[in-house]
Each structure stands twice: as structure tokens, then as C-alpha cells.
Amino acid sequence: MSKTGSFVTTPDRHGSPATLTLYLHAFWGLLLRDFRVLQRELGPFTVRVIMNPLLFLFVFTYIFPRIGQSFGSSSGAGGMNFGTVLLPGLMAVAIMFTGIAAVALPLSTEFGITREIEDRVMCPLPVAGVAIEKICFSAMQSVLSALIVFPLAYFIPSEPVHVHVSSYWLLGSVVLLASLVSGALGLTIGTTVEPRQIGLIFSVVVVPITFLGCVYYPWALLRHIPWLQYAVLLNPIVYMSEGLRAALTPALPARLILGALILSVLILGWAGIRGFLRRVIG
């Protein structure tokens, strides 16, 4: 113990209550800073979130039924129209795109020539904590983007979209875990891919996992292609789509969905934090 003037200072141990309180305050400060930046960019953020589900709903559930195409009629999944089947998938897409864009795109700038990331890691928080904050803030944006899809699904389709939630606990759990998965995936992409290749990743990785993520069709209907039905189980967006669709169409068991999403958060979170530490410290 050392003494200076009237102040007594003691060596603070890592993990002590005072240290944890300092970490929480720093973590909360980073979140507030990011929210302040988001407020200034609220217009572009809203347009980015709305545009994709808006176009899909307008084309497949408004235009197609009016020109006599089959997408607006019963899809064969429990006799529900295509809009009802599409809604959970669009929520999953909104979560995925928002989560990845909220982390990977800013990291491409922060790890650039100016090294803006150094301003972040100077806060009184472990470097891994800064990475976790990015995942959490991305998850908050993803939850908001999922909620925005609901009013679009009520006003745009020419045929009513029937939403019946049998378990709000399951719905909330899937939305939260899916948002964390998308943020962790965005962190992994942002820390392993060179900034100039971020656009290519969206074409090579994000678009394929979206089309093969049971977004536009229920997983149960893939029984006609058995090899593909089991191959897509490696795709985390499958569990997002099916988890949100669980109350509407034949879906995977809830325990499998939640377990797969938790496993995805752990694996992608570990990979993303490890990459973040390598880029910052190494």
C-alpha cells in the first residue's frame, strides 16, 4: 500500500468489484457513444433496414398476386399464403444484414490507415470487452430491424399475412440470439477480411447463406432434396428463419433451434474476439 498526500491507493486486483464497476461504466459509455453516432445517421440506417424487406414484400406479395402468379396463393406449407411464410425469413434477413453491416463495415474503416480503433481500445476496458460491446450494439440494431418488418408485412401484401405467436418467450429468445449471432458473424468478417474485400464477402458469403437459409421456404419442404435439407443445417440463418417461423409452419424443434443459435454465438463470438485481439494487439 502506498500513500500520497491524503489519498491512500492500493493495488487493484483484476476482477475486484471496483474494477468490474469501472469496466461496466466504460462499456456503457461505449454504448452511449455508438447510440449518439447512430442518432446522427438515423435516416440512412432506417433506409438500409427497410429497403430489402420492402422490395421483397412488394414484389412477391403485392405485384405477383395481382398479375396472377402463384407466389400469392397457398404455398403448400400448411395452406398459408406466401406472405405468411416469407415474413419470418425476412425478419431473419433483416437481422443478419443489419448485424453484419453494423460491425464489419465500421471495422473496415477503424482498421484502416487512420487506425481509428486505437481511440476505442484506450478506454478503461479490456480489448476483448471492446469487441463484445460491438457485438452487443450490433445486436440492438438487429432487434430494431426485425421489429420494423412487422408493420411492412401488414400494409404491403395484397393478401393478409396471418401472424400467430404461440410462444412469445421462444420468439424473444430467437430474435435475441439471432441478433447476437449476426453481430458475432460481422465481427468475424470484419477482423479476418481486408477492408477492400468487404464488398466481395457480401457477394460470396452473405448472399449464398441467405438464399440457402430457408428464408423464402420452410425447412420442412426441403425433404424433397434430402442432401440439401441436412447440408443447410450448417447455416446459422436456417435456425433464425425456422425459429421465427416455428409458430406458423412445420419447423425444427425449439430446443434444436435455440441450441444451434447458442452454439453459433459461442463459435462466431470466439472467432470474432480472437480476430479482434489479433488485429489490435498483434
Burial environment of residue 81 by CB neighbours within 10 A (0 to 12, 13 to 18, 19 or more): buried
Is residue 214 assigned to a domain? Answer: yes
pLDDT on residue 263:
94
What single-letter amino acid sits at 189?
I
Is residue 176 assigned to a domain? Answer: yes
Instruction: Note whether 83 and 56 are within 8 A (CB).
Output: no
pLDDT on residue 45:
80
Task: Look at residue 223 and give its three-state secondary structure.
Answer: helix
Kindly state the cell numbers that stand for 196.
Answer: 477492400
Instruction: Note whether 247 and 167 are within 8 A (CB).
Output: yes
Instruction: Note whether 156 and 58 are within 8 A (CB).
Output: yes
Give, for all 282 residues of the chain, the pLDDT tens digit: 333 333 333 345 556 778 888 888 889 888 888 888 888 888 888 887 788 788 877 877 788 777 765 554 444 444 556 667 778 888 888 888 888 888 888 887 777 666 777 777 788 888 888 899 999 999 999 998 888 887 887 788 777 776 777 778 888 899 999 999 999 999 998 888 877 777 777 778 778 888 888 888 888 888 889 999 999 999 999 999 888 887 555 566 788 888 999 999 999 999 999 999 888 886
Instruction: Note whether 60 and 86 are within 8 A (CB).
Output: yes
Task: Look at residue 13 and give its three-state secondary structure.
Answer: coil
**Residue 233 per-residue DSSP state:** G
Is residue 5 assigned to a domain? Answer: no
Is residue 6 assigned to a domain? Answer: no
Q: Please state the domain count of the chain.
A: 1
Is residue 51 assigned to a domain? Answer: yes
pLDDT on residue 13:
54
Using alpha carbons, list the distances in angstroms from residue 234 to 79, 164, 280: 28, 28, 30
What are the two backbone dihedrals, phi and then psi, of residue 8, each rounded to the nearest 5 degrees? -110, 125
Look up the pTM and report it: 0.82
CA angle 132, 235, 201 (to 5 degrees): 70
Is residue 1 assigned to a domain? Answer: no
Rounded to whole angstroms, the Cα distance separating 2 from 10 reads 7
Is residue 127 assigned to a domain? Answer: yes
pLDDT on residue 98:
87
- Tell me which residue range forms the domain holding 178: 15-281
Can you count the helices (H) and strands (E) in the chain? 12, 2
pLDDT on residue 136:
93
Is residue 2 assigned to a domain? Answer: no
